[in-house]
Amino acid sequence: MRRKLIAGNWKMNGLLADGVELARALSNLAAGEAPNCDLLVFPPATLLMTVGGVLSSGPIALGGQDCHGEAGGAHTGDIAADMLADLGCSHVIVGHSERRADHGESDSEVKAKGQAALAAGLTPIVCVGESLEEREAGRALTVVANQLRGSLPEGGSPVVAYEPVWAIGTGKSATPEDVAEVHAELRRVLGEMRGAAAAAETLLLYGGSVKPANAAELLGLEDVDGALVGGASLKADDFWGIARACP
């Protein structure tokens, strides 16, 4: 049985005081109630240490928003996976569509990042998702299947997040039917790549304008094992509302 995971991607938002305030609010909510899921937040790198300190005694885990594909060296401005582990991170997002778009990250680079994460003892959350043009051309399943084949690291137990690019930060979520279809395809491809047992154990998250109002329907789908939440993760009550929607 896969336990659901609700993960909040804070993206490039928040100064120290904002991060502390949000982490404290989440910590207080967690002290009062245990939702039926695992919880994880991805603050910006500048806040990891402080937010990690606030969350350290509670159930909310910490992750990095990206890591480099190499273990260390001359890569100005980048962060190695073991640096994240050193700060108490358990997870790292790799291949988020904003990084694929802003930094031109290819599937093979994303795979190297995932591999580096596993080598550092982190669980990578590997993001895939089609653009609006690709969906309208009827290519969504092919695109995400190819991204998965090219981006998934070997070994370990990576998490996969399906995030249609057109649904991220737009307020426009994919329909439950579309999500169910893509997740079933991802699970099928995972079976081809890793075998049936590993595919059945892999967590498949959905991301793209998840909010308290649509969470129950999306999280109730058979192959949806949780959510990667952007905008709504910046408000403690909204993030909690999504966590609470886990069946």
Is 70 assigned a catalytic role? no
Choice among 105, 134, 163, 185 that is catalytic: 163
What pairs with residue 125 in β-bridges?
93, 159
CA distance 130 to 85: 30
For ligand PEP, the binding residue among 63, 158, 164, 231 (CB under 6 A) is: 231
Interface region with ligand PEP, contact rule CB under 6 A, candidates 44-52, 59-67, 180-188, 203-211: 203-211
Place of tokens 């305030």: 21
Interface region with ligand PEP, contact rule CB under 6 A, candidates 23-31, 103-111, 178-186, 222-230: 222-230
Binding map of ligand PEP across residues 139-168, x = CB under 6 A, - = no contact: ------------------------x----x
**Residue among 75 and 172 whose Cβ is closer to ligand PEP:** 172
What sections of the chain are H helices per DSSP?
16-32, 48-55, 81-86, 97-102, 107-119, 132-136, 140-151, 176-194, 196-201, 212-219, 236-244
**Residue among 147 and 209 whose Cβ is closer to ligand PEP:** 209
Is residue 229 at the binding interface for ligand PEP, with CB under 6 A as the rule? Answer: yes
Name the residue whose CB lies closest to ligand PEP: 230
Is 96 assigned a catalytic role? yes
φ, ψ at 123 (rounded to 5°): -95, 115
| Min separation Cβ 149 and ligand PEP, Å | 21
# binding residues, ligand PEP (CB under 6 A): 13
φ, ψ at 4 (rounded to 5°): -70, 155
For ligand PEP, the binding residue among 65, 115, 202, 209 (CB under 6 A) is: 209
For 49-53, the CB contacts below 8 A with 24+ separation are: 49/87, 50/16, 50/19, 50/20, 50/23, 51/19, 51/20, 51/22, 51/23, 52/87, 52/88, 52/89
Is residue 130 at the binding interface for ligand PEP, with CB under 6 A as the rule? Answer: no
Q: How many CA atoms lie within 13 A of 230 on its CB side?
A: 23
Catalytic residue ranges = 96, 163
Which positions lie near ligand PEP, rule CB under 6 A? 9, 163, 168-169, 207-210, 228-232
